[in-house]
Each structure stands twice: as C-alpha cells, then as structure tokens.
Structure 1
Amino acid sequence: MIQRIQTLYLLVAAIISGGLIFVFHLWTDGSEALVYAKEDYTFLGLFLGSALLSLISIFKYKARKSQFILGRLNIILNFILLGVFVYQSLNLSGETNVSEKGIGMILPVFSIVCLALANKAIKKDEDLVKSVDRLR
C-alpha cells in the first residue's frame, strides 16, 4: 500500500528535511557568509533524523499504529529543531552569530505541516479498517 496519500506527504517531509537543507541557508552571519545546516552537526543530525523517521514511516504501512507514532515523534523532533532555531535567533543579543535569517529556518514548519497531513490520513485509514471490522 505504498500508493496511499500519506506516503506522498511523508516523502515530501523527507525531501524537505533531508534534501532542501543543502539548498537553502539557515542564516547569514556577521561577515555576510551563508551558514548551511551541514556546517553544524547538531542541525544536520536533527534534520537527517527527521528525514530518516519519515522514510522509516513510509515502509511501516502494514502497521498503521506504529506509523502514526513515528509521525508524532517526527513532529516532536521538528518542533525541537524549530525551538533551537528560535533560541539561536532570538536569545542572542546584538549583532552576533545570526545577522539575517534564511529560508532554511522555516523548513521544519513545512515538514510539520506535511507530517500532520500524513498523520491525519493514517488516522483516516485506521478508522476505515476499524469500521469494516465492525461489520464482520
């Protein structure tokens, strides 16, 4: 059942978390140099962990409950990543590391939206299977 809509949402979330981090910069520092996620192992690990969870969740299509749980864990991971970005950009005073924010800082938001849509579709499938089981 790889052709379901949640597979598409999970694949888009994996592409956002695993691929677009190498295309879009996170911020521009004080010397006008672009900072990417691959330069900091914390951000790289969180992004690639999110992409890996999405890919694992795609192939767990037979176990919808574990697929749903992996989706929730992935959403929590992206919220942690977003919180680290907010802390990095707002808590530092003056003109320090973060001079200008890039589009890479909002990539976790797009990933969260895709994961929430995937979890909604997984829940819908689970409810459909339960209703068919009741009719037997």
Structure 2
Amino acid sequence: MIQRIQTIYLLLAFVVTGVLPFIFPLWTMADGKDYFFMQNQVYIVVLGLSTTLSLLSIVSYKKRQNQFVMGRLNIILNLILLGLFVYRSLNLSGETVAVSEKGIGMFLPIVAIVLLVLANKAIKKDEDLVKSVDRLR
C-alpha cells in the first residue's frame, strides 16, 4: 500500500485538505483578523468530504477502479471549493472594504487538485499494467 506512489500523493492530498486549512487562513480581513474555513459551513462540508474521499481512496488500494473514481470526485469537489473561494473573495464582501489580503489557504485546493491528478495518473498506470499482464496469460 505505502510503497505505491499514488498512496503518497493521496496522503499529501489528505494533509493539504485535512490539516493545512487549520494552519493557513483563507484571507485576512481589513481589521487584521484572519478568516479561516471554519467560519463558513459550506467550506467545512466540502473540505470534510474532500478529506474523507482522500482517506477512503488510500484505504481502498486493492480496488483501483474505485480509487480512480474517488479521485475524480475529489478533483470535482476541490474545483467547487476553489470556485467558492474565488466567488467569496471577489463578489460578496468587496475587495476594498472587508478583505485586505488573500492568504495561502485560498491556493490549497489547487495543490490538492495537482496531487490528485498525479495520483490518478499513477492509478491508471497501475491498472494498465495489470491489464497487460492479464492479456499475456
């Protein structure tokens, strides 16, 4: 399980979606307070689903096809999360009034998407290898 490169990618995606949002703020308000994801229920649900899918993907290493599908769903969830972050920072509060500086937490879904794409590539490579070996028998 751990010797496969996609497990490492999925573990890093788990850390990016499950641990780092608690450390890095999404943005800093004009009054100097940091805005974390915990202050919005939608962000909590989407990040929780993404973290859970990463963990389930790691655990289901014997079922490569399910792992691949979970990876794609996780990519879609992270794209939705990124869209919500961009929408919130550009439209709802107004740049000049409430949000003074965007934090590194806004870019965490991008890092997760890259890691999940790399994991899906490795899963696909493993699946193709298994199919080619089965053909030779």
Give the TM-score normalised by structure 2. 0.94
Q: Give the aligned length.
A: 136
Unaligned 5+ segments in structure 1 are none
CA separation in 1, counterparts of 2:37 and 2:28? 12
- Describe the SS at the equivalent of 1:25: coil
CA separation in 2, counterparts of 1:83 and 1:123? 27
- Residues 36-63 of structure 1: CA distance to partner in whole angstroms, max 9, x if unpaired? 1122222122112111100000111111
Give the aligned partner of residue 79 of structure 1. 79
**Structure 1 residue 104 and structure 2 residue 105: aligned?**
yes
CA separation in 2, counterparts of 1:97 and 1:17? 25
Give the aligned partner of residue 12 of structure 1. 12
CA separation in 1, counterparts of 2:66 and 2:76? 15
CA separation in 2, counterparts of 1:11 and 1:55? 8
Give the aligned partner of residue 126 of structure 1. 127
**4+ residue stretches of structure 1 with deviation over 4 A?**
none
Structure with the higher fraction of residues in helix conformation? 2
CA separation in 2, counterparts of 1:126 and 1:29? 47
Instruction: Tell me which amino acid in the other structure corresponds to 2:12.
Output: V
Give the aligned partner of residue 115 of structure 1. 116
CA separation in 1, counterparts of 2:97 and 2:81? 20
Q: Say if 1:64 and 1:94 are closer, same or farther in 2 by CA, change over 3 A.
A: closer
1:33-72 equivalent positions in 2, closer than 5 A: 33-72=33-72
CA-based RMSD: 1.2
**Structure 1, 82-91 or 106-115: larger mean CA deviation:** 82-91
CA separation in 2, counterparts of 1:105 and 1:133? 44
Give the TM-score normalised by structure 1. 0.95
Would the aligned equivalents of 1:2 and 1:61 in 2 still touch at CA under 8 Å?
no
Instruction: Tell me which amino acid in the other structure corresponds to 2:63.
Output: A
CA separation in 2, counterparts of 1:80 and 1:108? 9
CA separation in 1, counterparts of 2:95 and 2:3? 50
